[in-house]
Structure 1
Amino acid sequence: MKLIVAIFFLISSTSAATECYTCSTATKPQCETLSDVSMIDTCKSTTNEINCVMYKFKLNTKDFIYRGCLTKDRTCDDEKNSLNLEKKEVLECKLCDTNLCTNSVTQIKLPIILTIITFIVLQVTN
């Protein structure tokens, strides 16, 4: 029974959509530090799963950061090739598939924390 409760809790804490930061320092300087919570979008696709993407690129002599959503069938190389056509040089690219994962600080996902707490509570109540 305890195992069933733990499995149910884990399944119910996952989400079909991915939340990603969506911004660019070209239009919002706060994108670099993620100081504006309005830069969070829930990304959905009817055909593909979603990754969050963050890349740094150079245009002329200025560096920019872009954060957004990308379908899982696209790679950093695909983005690099597309941006090269726009005369943008990609300096760094990161893809990830957890909510708000394109920040510079490693995050522990809430579902993992809640699962650990549930496990501890179940062990204590024995």
Structure 2
Amino acid sequence: MSDLSDKFEPDRNGVGIVFFVPTTTTSHTDYTIRWIPQAVENLLHNNDIMTKAELASFLGVARSTVYKTFEDDWSGEVTTKMLAAMCSRFGVPMNRIATEPGRAAARPTRRRTAGVSVRLAG
């Protein structure tokens, strides 16, 4: 009973009352803005950009900026500099290539179709 001593409170007759406090887990909402990997990949492919170095050159930013911003699958945390550069240069709205705060990004999945590996947002 020693582990309950902080929750033990006697009533006026000296009878012990134990209060059980349920442990709750709070759902944590992540307000980070993240890239939508499939949308970024499609946008780059449609503009004949295949590498991070090509993207940096196209946007006129340092390669290190692009490498810090994107993972290998074009996912990652959005920076205002890169978001502004991409939306401006490609002429696309922000919600086409980045998630809204508090919403999860679609994770790219791979599916095989007729012997060909196809990458889809799932």
TM-score range, shorter chain: under 0.3
Q: TM-score scaled to structure 1, two decimals? A: 0.25
Higher strand share: 1
Q: Higher Cα Rg: structure 1 or 2?
A: 2
Q: TM-score scaled to structure 2, two decimals? A: 0.25
